[in-house]
Structure 1
Amino acid sequence: MDFKKISNPKSNYRVLKNKKVLITAGPTWVPIDSVRVLGNIATGKTGIGLAKTFLRLGSHVTLLLGPVGEVRGLSGVRLLRYVYFDELSALIKQQLTSGHYDVLVHSAAVSDYQPKSRLIQKIESGLSPFLLRLFPAPKLIDTFRDYNPNMVIVGFKFEPEARRIVLFKSAMALMKRARLDMVVACRLRFGRYQAYIINSKEKLGPFLNREEMSAFLVRKIKEMLWKD
């Protein structure tokens, strides 16, 4: 199954037509000083692909996209850009308080740690050693359910080198803690992408590429909306 095979609005995916979908994608940056940041290497490709698919199926899509450079092919998608952790946090809050969403797919790679405060000036070079104290960042995903108890919420858990049983355990813990409907659990198996879609009843996968995983994810979201 791929994106093209599920893009016919005349199919049983018509339940997604006119649904409001919010997607987060890409990395977040956390400032250290006036020029340096903590970041990650997320590309946002999964979220961008999902945004295009939901759009083809007739959904109203808002994509919150981090610092991944210029992206083409998003005509029709409401695109809101962010760079920093705090900007993503504010955008999510603004979207969830100002409008009703049926689906939220949180695929952004959000920073887990941040400095207690940002230094206003550039840190002097040549300092040795230089110690940077980091503290846990707020878990944005833990607040989503408070905005809408009926919204379908999907989270992502990436554990690059985890054994499958550990990956499943982490994903289930996230799903329970954040009150999610599904979690996409990803790892690298011998350097290759591998993902599972996990909900309270089943574990689907492994999916060996993002396109296959995303197609099944849209299918499961469709099934949840159909039941409602």
Structure 2
Amino acid sequence: MSLKDKRVLITAGPTRVPIDDVRVISNTATAATGFILAKKFKDAGAKVTLVHGVPCDCSLKCRVKVLRFKFFDELNQIITRQLKSGKVDVFIQTAAVSDYKPSLIRRGKISSADKELKLTLVPTVKIIDRVKKLSPDLFLVGFKFEPQALRAALIKEARSLISKSKADLVVANTKSGNKYRAYIVSAKKT
């Protein structure tokens, strides 16, 4: 498949969910994979839009359209708008999307004088599960990270994600110590 003039939407980096007006729950994603993919797709002739979370310690050395978000809800809105526009041929979700959010976001700042803070977390919507519903004809690539997972478990998780999201490919990746491993799992069992 030629990538010339294909419209590619890539998400990258961490997502945040607010606890109060000051504090957030986040993750340690760096956006590095998304930035590398954006450059490679741009070099192959694609029209790339990169949607990334902040903060991000990557510098983009290629010319692509960049959309930034701070919070999960912003990412969800951006993706929904982009997909509803009908102008996406390939969607690659490398962003480490929050699976949970606080059931209640406190106004102001929670006092640090409180002896204890209990949070009730509820699931966020699974963005990747909505992609094909919003844009059924695009090519969807998901990423599934499981730390210290064995190959068989990773492949099983990737197949589960393919089944739920209707992804065309899933990159199942893991890290053990300083060693990364990734497996590309296709929806087509070939």
Specify the SS of the correspondent of 1:22.
strand
Query: What is residue 34 of structure 2 aligned with on the other side?
Result: 47
Aligned match of 1:164: 151
Find 2:179's aligned residue among 186, 192, 213: 192
Aligned counterpart, 1:82: 69
Q: Deviations over 1:15-53 (max 9, x none)?
A: 111110000000000000010000000000000000011
What is aligned with 1:97? Answer: 84
The Cα of 1:188 is off from its aligned counterpart by 1.3
Alpha-carbon contact 1:31-1:38 (below 8 Å) kept: yes
Is the partner of 2:27 in helix, strand or coil? coil
- Partner of 2:5 in structure 1? 18
Task: Using the TM superposition, give the Cα deviation of residue 73 of structure 1 relative to its aligned residue in structure 2, in angstroms.
Answer: 3.4
One-letter amino acid matched to 1:60: K
Please point out which of 148, 154, 178 is paired with 2:141.
Answer: 154
- 2:12/2:50 contact within 8 Å kept: yes
* Secondary structure at the counterpart of residue 16 of structure 1: coil
Identity of aligned residues (%): 45
Distance 2:189 2:177 in 1: 25
Specify the code of the residue in structure 2 equivalent to 1:142.
D
Alignment of 1:97-116 (within 5 A): 97-116=84-103
Change (3 A) 1:71 1:189: closer
- Aligned-residue offset at 1:150: 1.6
Which residue of 112, 130, 140 maps to 1:143?
130
Structure 1 residue runs without a partner (length 5+): 1-12, 204-228
Aligned residues: 190
**Structure-1 separation of matches of 2:55 and 2:95:** 11
Is 1:68–2:55 an aligned residue pair? yes
Whichever residue aligns with residue 144 of structure 2, its letter is: K
1:162/1:71 CA distance change after superposition, 3 Å:
closer
- Report how far residue 202 of structure 1 moved: 5.5
**What secondary structure sits across from 2:87 in the alignment?**
coil
Cα RMSD, aligned residues only: 1.6
Q: Distance in 2 between matches of 1:19 and 1:25?
A: 19
Give the Cα separation in 1 of the matches to 2:89 and 2:153. 31
Shift of 1:130: 1.6
Contact 1:44–1:68 (CA<8 Å) still a contact in 2?
no
Does the Cα contact within 8 Å between 2:167 and 2:187 map onto a contact in 1? no
Which of 106, 114, 136 aligns to 1:119? It is 106
Unaligned 5+ runs, structure 2: none
Distance of aligned partners of 1:194 and 1:70 in 2 relative to their CA distance in 1, 3 Å threshold: closer
Q: Please report the TM-score for the alignment, with normalisation by the length of structure 2.
A: 0.94
Larger Rg: 1
Task: Provide the rounded CA distance (Å) in 1 between the counterparts of 2:187 and 2:133.
Answer: 20
Task: Name the CA distance, whole Å, in 2 between partners of 1:136 and 1:176.
Answer: 19
Q: 2-side partners of 1:200 and 1:99: how far apart?
A: 23
Query: Which residue is equivalent to 1:130?
Result: 117
